[in-house]
Amino acid sequence: MGFSLVGAAAIIGVSVLMCLEIIMSTTVPTITNVDDAFDEMRDRIIDQVQTDINITNVINTVNGSNYDINITVDNIGSITLKTSLFNILINGTINNFSCSKSYIHPENNVYFNVYNFSGSGFMKVKVVTNNGISDYYEFTLT
């Protein structure tokens, strides 16, 4: 009777150790991934809070039957923004653009150019940064 008790305790002990190893090997990476995700989310939120832009001017020039549109954007936030990650929407449609600089630093401005834009009349331009902060500007194509 004494040997069976020791044998049963050994089997249960080994089983508990195996279960703990399996639980720990799946739980620890998950906790690490969740912690990394929270760090990234916190950084994104901080960037969003510290980002602000202002469209100060929109100039359009006639290019044949279309228009070339020059959009001046000021970075009034405290984050340096990469201009290639911006989106330019005119009346809700995403447009291809070129930019005068690769980055827009705080308290500086940059010029976005949309070439061969077809349309006329009242327009609304929206400039969206890579972290979702945007600004609107209304103008008329004649």
Confidence tier at 6 by pLDDT (50, 70, 90): confident
What's the chain's average pLDDT? 90
Instruction: Answer for the pair 30, 23: CB distance below 8 angstroms, yes or no.
Output: no
Indicate if the pLDDT at residue 1 is higher than 70: no
Indicate if the pLDDT at residue 26 is higher than 90: no
Over residues 60-117, the pLDDT tens digits come to 999 888 899 999 999 999 999 999 999 999 999 999 999 989 999 999 999 999 999 9
Q: Residue 2: what pLDDT?
A: 63
Indicate if the pLDDT at residue 34 is higher than 80: yes
- Indicate the domain borders of the chain: 1-49, 52-141
**What is the rounded CA–CA span in Å between residue 135 and residue 63?**
26
* CATH class of the structural domain 52-141: mainly beta
Q: How many residues does the chain have?
A: 142
Instruction: Answer for the pair 58, 73: CB distance below 8 angstroms, yes or no.
Output: no
